[in-house]
Structures are given as structure tokens and as C-alpha cells.
Amino acid sequence: MKNIRSHAERLGLDENFNLKQIKGTGNPELRQMIEAPADFYVPPSPEEWREIEPNRDRLEKIQIEFKKLIDKDVVTSALGAHEQVMEEKMAKELNIDIELLEKIRSLLLENKEIATVENSLKLEEGTIEKIINYVGSQEYIIKFIKQQIDIKRDQLVEQAVNNINAQEKEMSDPLTGALNIIGIQNHFLKEMEKLKNDKSGKSSVVIANFDIDSFKRVNDEFGHLMGDRLIKDIIMALKGQKTEVTGLRSSDGIGRAGGDEFVVIAFLDQNIVQNAESVFIEKIKNILNSVAGDYGKVSITGGYSIITKDNKLTYEEASQQADEAAIFEKIRKPGDFLRYSPNLKPDLTTIESRRRWATEWVERQFKRRQGELEVELNAEKNPKQRTSIEKRIKLLEKQKTIAIEEKALELEQGLKKTN
């Protein structure tokens, strides 16, 4: 209450002031505040932002995170328990229960996302934005909050940078710095959101899964360090960090799902490039071939799925389609990429062909599981828990042989049913 009392005294209001009646005051300074437009805070200048983060893509993420933190701070300041009178005015004008306002404030103070708070309290979407807009229309509230936020601005910028660093670490593969399985799935959702909002109807999202053919041979003949170097070189080339070849766009999602399996997810606009999917896949192939050439007889095979507004797919569905195409191509024509089609029918008539298909399928699933466990291992600090995760990773190898036999039997049984 002290801050509001001192604020009221400075504006010439008596100690029994009531903020509900504040618009009726004859105080010229107060009228000017209420009528004049004002911002909540003074953001860093473009020059200051560039000093904070020179990378444009990361800077955009930091600025979005900073805006979220500011929004939270505005709401929590406006809904502060020590500002009961202000709450009463807001509750009445927005037709929101005062106890609900306090719950909103408490959850935001726990660093919950605005959308999460709305969902947990079963609020109508946009309720908190309505509160923020209300705060923005009350200049006497702005004046009070602005003073507080300006003081904390640098602290909030630092917090935004730290939050983005933490998010990137959580979604990054420790070996290559590419997206891990969590980051891949998150990027897929972002690209699907672009597709949803696209008005042209000519755009698509492509997911391409690919891996190194006979990667075990590379490790066995040249050692695991050489295998790791090959994996790193592939990611560097896709990102455009090798001088011999131009990489993909900074907006494209480049990830390592686990082991030697890679994923690229991209939003493509046919209005900009005709046959955008084919052009994009050819670019990936050229990049990969430039790397494979440095390692002798190494080839990389992949499959891809195309998602449009007409065939909306989940990440799991699209990834499975890309996997099926990749396995088909690995058996049929290693070193190339194949687009998924429901008409792809692998030859499963012989024991050898069923086992080959089963091996490739299980290998891909186990690489994903290995990738998930590596994410857990990277985030885990407890030595005992780390040891437990490492044991689970080793156990995967033993489980893989059994899974291949089970998959081969499943394919055989499926073949008998169709016949």
C-alpha cells in the first residue's frame, strides 16, 4: 500500500483516496496522465539489442521472450495484493471475480506461461490479454507500473537471454548442437502453425529422415572418433558452416534424432519457388554428397513426407511416412531420397527381404529411443541417475536383436493375412 499512498500524495490526492473515483479528480497532472498515451517500458534500442545478441534468429527469440516477461510483469504488478483498490476497480470494469484475478497473479508469479494459466483456470482465450489491454488504457496505472518495470528492465533482458539459453540447451544435441528429438518435434509444430496461417494454399511442410548407410562399418574400420566427426560434418554442412557448400536456410529445422539418423523439417512456399519440395530435397542431397565424398565409400539414404493443408499429419505420422520411404529406398537404391507414397509396397516374400526390412525399421526406432535417452542423460545432474540412464542405453543394443526377430515375424504374419 505504501507505494500507492506515496504515488497518491505526489499527485495531490488525500490519504483516503479511492482509485475508483480517480477520473473525477480535478488534478491537471493526473488528467494529463490519463489522457496522454504512454508505454509500459522503454525497450532496448536496436543498437543495444545487437550488442546483447548479434545473431538475428536468436535475437528474435530473445525479444519475444522479453515481451512475454514484460507482459507477465505488467499483469502481476496490476494484480498485486497490495493494490487491492486497483484490483476492485479492474474486477468491476472487466466483470472478472476478484479472487480469480488473484489466482491469475499467483500462477504468473510461478513463472507459468500466459496460455498455460488460461488453460489451468479454464479462462476464455485472450482473458489475460484483455487485462493487459485494460492496464494499458488506465494511465495512472501505467505511470505506477512503468516506474517499476524501467528499474527492472535490464534484469528482465538478462532473464530473457537466460531463458532462451536454457530452452536451446534442452532442445539441442550435445554432440552436434543440432536440434535433438524434443527440438525437432517443437520445430515441426512451429512449421505446421505457419502452414495453418498460410492464405495462398500453395505451401507445404516437408519432413526428411535420412541416415548414413553402413555407419557401423565406418566406426569399425576408422573408430568412433571418425564416426562422430562424420556426424558433426553433416550437421555443419547442412547449417552452412563448411566453406565448400551453401547450407540450408536458418529457418529450416536441422536435427539429429539419435545415432546417425538426421531430420530436416522445412516450410516451403510454392509462390516463391516452383516445385519447391523437389528443389529443396535436391539441395539436401547435394550438401550430403559433398560431405560423403570426403569419407570415401559413404552414402546417405533418406525418405521424405510432404504435408499440406489437405493432409494434416501429426509429427509421428509424418515421420513414419518418411521412415517407410527411407527404408524402401535403402533396400532399393541406397544413396538417394524417395518421397513417401501409399503405393510403396516393399517385397516381403522372402525371409531375407523380411529380415532386411525388419532390421532397418527396428534400427530407426532404436536410434530414436537412444536419442531420447541421450537427452535425459544430458539434462541429468545426479550421478546415480546418470549411471542408470547409461545402463538403459546399453540395454537397448541387447533388446534390438529380439525386436528385429519380432518385427520380421510380424511382417510374415501380415503377408499371410493379405494372401
Does 49 share its domain with 96? Answer: yes
Does 28 share its domain with 166? Answer: yes
| Closest C-alpha among 349, 344, 356 to residue 415 | 349
Does 99 share its domain with 187? Answer: no
Query: To which H or E segment does residue 325 belong?
Result: helix 315-332
The per-residue pLDDT for 34 is 38
From start to end of 130-236, where are the E strands? 203-212
Q: Is residue 358 part of a domain?
A: no
Domain containing residue 101: 2-170
Buried b vs exposed e over 82-95: b needs ≥16 C-beta within 10 Å? ebeebbebbbeeee
Residue showing cell 488504457: 137
Does 203 share its domain with 285? Answer: yes
pLDDT in tens, the chain (419 residues): 334 444 445 444 445 544 444 433 344 444 443 343 334 456 788 888 888 898 888 898 899 898 888 777 766 665 553 344 456 667 777 787 778 877 887 787 776 778 888 888 888 888 888 877 776 666 656 666 666 667 778 888 899 999 999 888 889 998 999 999 999 999 999 999 999 888 888 899 999 999 998 888 888 888 888 989 999 999 999 999 987 778 999 899 999 998 899 999 999 987 776 788 999 999 999 999 989 878 877 899 999 999 998 888 999 999 999 999 999 998 888 899 999 999 888 788 888 888 888 888 888 888 888 878 887 887 788 888 889 988 888 888 788 888 888 888 888 877 666 65
The per-residue pLDDT for 117 is 84
Asked whether 3 and 10 are in contact (CB, 8 A), the reply is no
Q: Is residue 377 part of a domain?
A: no
- First-to-last alpha carbon distance for the chain, in angstroms, is 80
The per-residue pLDDT for 21 is 43
The per-residue pLDDT for 1 is 37
Asked whether 408 and 355 are in contact (CB, 8 A), the reply is yes
* 240 exposure class (CB count in 10 Å sphere: 0-12, 13-18, 19+): middle
The per-residue pLDDT for 145 is 64
Q: Is residue 319 part of a domain?
A: yes
**Inter-CA distances, 290 with 237, 246, 335, Å:** 8, 10, 13
| Closest C-alpha among 240, 215, 415 to residue 334 | 215
Please tell me the total count of domains within the chain.
2
Asked whether 53 and 59 are in contact (CB, 8 A), the reply is yes
Last residue in a domain, options 139, 170, 201: 170
Does 204 share its domain with 115? Answer: no
Does 57 share its domain with 132? Answer: yes
CB atoms within 10 A of CB 185: 20
Helix (H, G, I), strand (E, B) or coil at 244: coil
Does 61 share its domain with 156? Answer: yes
* 293 exposure class (CB count in 10 Å sphere: 0-12, 13-18, 19+): exposed
Does 158 share its domain with 33? Answer: yes
Does 93 share its domain with 43? Answer: yes
Tell if the pTM clears 0.75, that is, is over it: no
